[in-house]
Structure 1
């Protein structure tokens, strides 16, 4: 049974006003010599034409950003957060407009565009409320209690180069840029060309809300043309994308010893334990595997099901996957949308076809749906996937999951950890305490119990990022803002110098200092 289709509402729905496009693309740092056409993934028809940036445009963008950053850093934090406090209300008021843009440039279903909207609104508000506390000077314990007074200060890095991916362009652009700006930095931002409109939209909105115009520069173009000057002009680099791309970034910044954070690929596991609620878990698995057509770095691609529940769980998940509605409408009618790029459709097709040819069994999906749109592919569940298949170990980044049977907890954990990646994982059980114990043994930066990915990712007070080859550094939590700062220690010494006073010899001074260690330990001063 093929996944059902939500009827389309006509070609006019899949366009944007030319006045809106013109206003947005005016924010791109470009001399206008070259341009690119963005096609709609839903139809393949042109959506917008955007000017491309040259290497020279990027260098000029860095110059403008650096000049704007000096004045911005001098502002009190309470002033810097004001545009972001206003942003939450403005986003709610203009929700329909940005959801349309996200859908039209990515091809995702509206419910998944809504996740991007919520991420930007809630994450930026989280940091706007907490930036003052996180950035304020902090007193630290001195070497000599009462006599050495120490402060920890936080200074902005300067200019941050931020490279955002195409799959969640609104969320993974604005949600990282907001804390970087609140920390006192300027940003030179490279969104993906295909999905740059949503980033330009929020930049346009923030400028209207009081953000200095030159503080957030947007450059658009091919990495081979603008990648080097983008990184060479930066004081810090933030990158979300493939593991291969992250390694290339690390090599480029290493000679200058510039800091960086990388959120990279994953081959994320989900463990269904013997006592899991079959209905709840099957619905959760569908969300975890097929949100945004699987084009989500924290989505599930490997599903390990205990043998006691396998024969009940898998058929129910298959049934739910086959019921998923695919569509191109700018409403909440579709359960899943399109892939974004032809190369993603090719990769998904290649992985599935190779696996089937070598013995994998298709339980649901397994085919493209050009009758709906040029880049649609059905939600796909495969069994009998073996280690020699590309689908087994390599990130597919599409609506495809392989299901495996296991016998005991140790086996499931070992198989979940048998990967060079460690971004996200999921554990399902009625015994939450046991689920947490299992989660702690999984080598992943975030692990969700009885959820696929949202519980950990959207808890903005906690860090999010990857272990192993899934990344370096974290977004969210205190680190998500403080990574954009330089820590400075200022210590002043009072009354007694850190050397023998007067006629006391160094032998006596050394004895006194050594004895002092025991005294301070006993009094719990140290």
Structure 2
């Protein structure tokens, strides 16, 4: 948790000696990259205490100065972008190219600048003669940022940049699977900030369990599973911390009749297979009208078979491994179950051990029942079940038949028809002729079991602030 400078090589700044930490492996080869520090609940207590002590002075700097510092941090992220991307590629598994490691690091700079540049002025909510009521937004205090392993750097920036802009201090808890990427990112932030304003606590499940209900925490931002999100809600009863929860999804897409399949095929493919399918808001169930069903299935199968997969540092690859053994086993189980049920495996369908121990072929599954676990559960891997429908009413009903509601998409040449379907889908975001595209100015969040609270833009700044009404 000590502050460092950029003069030493990246891994030296964030790793510890072999006997002092936990080995972190290359996701593709399982070779050891370095050793992450293993912090304790006592380290967490110290980090939160330091954050509380630093917060008043940080808030007192004002929006203009905090924004200036965030812009400098964004510049520094760009200056170290290649080293950060190569570390991310090895630890998480995503290739350098395509919508992957370099893309993620670039997004970190973009979202940091956006947090700095988004205006948030006091809002006049009532005015009559000399009477007036304004809503101002004050810092909350200490924000706990608990991140996932699939987009570890980008999602951490989504949590910490707006928090810092609004005058909060932040304690970051990275995933145990990808701590080095987050430690490297926090290192860049910390070198521009007063001591205590941001810190990363790289601990085990005990540390994770302690952070949400910690008496020194005022806000928890969490991205991860619904099961863990429920435990965070329970823990927050201890300190009444405010919550933003992004709990993943089982996103549905609906291809309407008469869609130009050739025109949408690439966008459809990457809506599914971005980050090798390991994205909360990627497309995970695809409903296609029976008139175009085989055409869509074959288009996706052709792309799955031809898209390069392999080690992320190979510039030719754009698909990588599953990040960890647990996720590899989940994907394998779901595909094996689909095969046993008689589903048609049109592309892929098997592990790819020649590439590495955690690689699984890009897989397209057709003729599968809605009740199959591959359809009901979030697979979080390079697999898509494609399901036929006969009328739009049926497609909407089946798409909404899920406990989760993060994202959804509608694909059509008829914008009015697509908008009419989008209005009836139960999701926090519905995209038309795209899936998963995010904009730092556009609010993002889920409904149902996909969590609550919004991030990005003005809504994201308000989510890490305490509204105060001043009436006179």
TM over 0.5: yes
- TM-superposition CA deviations, 1:169-203 (whole Å, max 9, x none): 01000122100011000011101122122222222
Asked whether 1:174 is paired with 2:157, we answer yes
**Equivalent residue for 1:222?**
204
- Provide the C-alpha distance between the structure 2 equivalents of 1:217 and 1:231, rounded to a whole number of angstroms: 18
Distance across 2 between alignment mates of 1:92 and 1:229:
31
State the alpha-carbon separation in 2 of the partners of residues 484 and 408 from structure 1: 43
Equivalent of 1:76 in 62, 71, 82: 62
1:149 aligns with 2:132: yes
Counterparts of 1:49-60 in structure 2 under 5 Å?
A: 49-60=35-46
Deviations 1:78-99 (A, max 9, x none): 0011122123333333321111
Number of paired residues?
463
Aligned to 1:374, the other structure's residue is in SS state coil
Q: Matched residues in 2 for 1:311 and 1:190: separation?
A: 45
The answer for the alignment partner of 1:43 in structure 2 is: 29
CA contact (8 A) 2:18 2:35 kept: no
Alpha-carbon distance in structure 2 between the residues aligned to 1:446 and 1:332? 33
* TM-fit CA distance, 1:146: 2.2
Query: Residue 263 of structure 1: CA displacement?
Result: 0.2
3-state SS of 2:402 partner: coil
- The CA distance in 2 between the partners of 1:293 and 1:33, in whole Å, is 33
What displacement does 1:155 show? 1.0
Among 20, 25, 35, the alignment partner of 2:10 is: 20
Measure, in 1, the Cα distance between the counterparts of 2:390 and 2:181: 46
| Secondary structure at 1:256 match in 2 | coil
- Given the superposition, is the C-alpha separation of residues 438 and 387 from structure 1 closer, same or farther in structure 2, using an over 3 Å criterion? closer
Q: Does 1:105 find its partner at 2:96?
A: no
Q: Which residue of 2 aligns with 1:463?
A: 443
- The residue correspondences of 1:407-426 to structure 2 (distance < 5 A) are 407-426=390-409
Residue number among 480, 491, 496 corresponding to 2:460 in the alignment = 480
Q: Equivalent residue for 2:355?
A: 372
Q: 1:125 to 1:331 in 2, by over 3 A?
A: farther
Corresponding residue of 2:123: 138
Q: Distance in 2 between matches of 1:243 and 1:367?
A: 28
Whether 1:191 aligns to 2:174 is yes
Q: Give the 3 Å change call, closer, same or farther, for CA 362–226 of structure 1 in structure 2.
A: closer
CA drift at 1:139? 3.3
Matched-pair contact (CA < 8 Å) for 2:15–2:34: no
TM-score (norm 1): 0.84
Larger radius of gyration: 1
Alpha-carbon separation, structure 2, partners of 1:186 and 1:33: 31
2:328 to 304, 322, 345: 345
Q: Residues of 1 paired with 2:385 and 2:105: CA distance?
A: 30
Structure 2 SS opposite 1:369:
coil
1:11 alignment partner in structure 2:
none
TM superposition score normalised by structure 2? 0.94
Please report how far the alpha carbon of residue 138 of structure 1 lies from its aligned counterpart in structure 2 after TM superposition.
3.4
Give the 3-state SS of the residue equivalent to 1:151 in structure 2. Answer: strand
Residue of 330, 333, 346 corresponding to 2:313: 330
User: C-alpha deviations, 1:445-503, integer Å up to 9, x for none?
Assistant: 1111111211xx2x2222101111001101112111111111111222xxxxxxxxxxx
2:267 to 284, 298, 303: 284
> Does the CA-based 8 Å contact 2:297-2:364 persist in structure 1?
no
- Match 1:91 to one of 77, 81, 86: 77
Contact 1:380 1:400 in 2 (8 A): yes
2:4 alignment partner in structure 1: none
Q: Which residue number in structure 1 is paired with residue 187 of structure 2?
A: 204
For the residue of structure 1 that corresponds to 2:385, the secondary structure is strand
Residues 32 and 52 in structure 1, CA contact (< 8 A), matched pair in contact too: no
Distance 1:62 1:88, change over 3 A: closer
Residues 386 and 311 (structure 1), Cα distance of their counterparts in 2 relative to 1, 3 Å cut: closer
Distance 2:331 2:345 in 1: 14
Aligned: 1:275 with 2:258:
yes
Task: Provide Cα deviations, 1:248-272, integer angstroms capped at 9, x if missing partner.
Answer: 1011112432210100121111111
Give the conservation status (yes or no) of the 8 Å contact 1:58–1:226.
Answer: no
Q: Is the 8 A contact 2:47 2:199 kept in 1?
A: yes
Q: Aligned-residue CA RMSD in angstroms?
A: 1.9
Alignment-derived partner of residue 8 in structure 1: none
CA distance in 2 between partners of 1:403 and 1:32 (Å): 46
- Partner-residue secondary structure (3-state), 2:237: helix
Unmatched tracts of structure 1, length 5 or more: 1-16, 493-526
Deviation at 1:444, TM superposition (A): 0.6
- 1:147 shift after superposition: 3.4
- Give the Cα–Cα distance (whole angstroms) in 1 for the partners of residues 212 and 465 of structure 2: 19
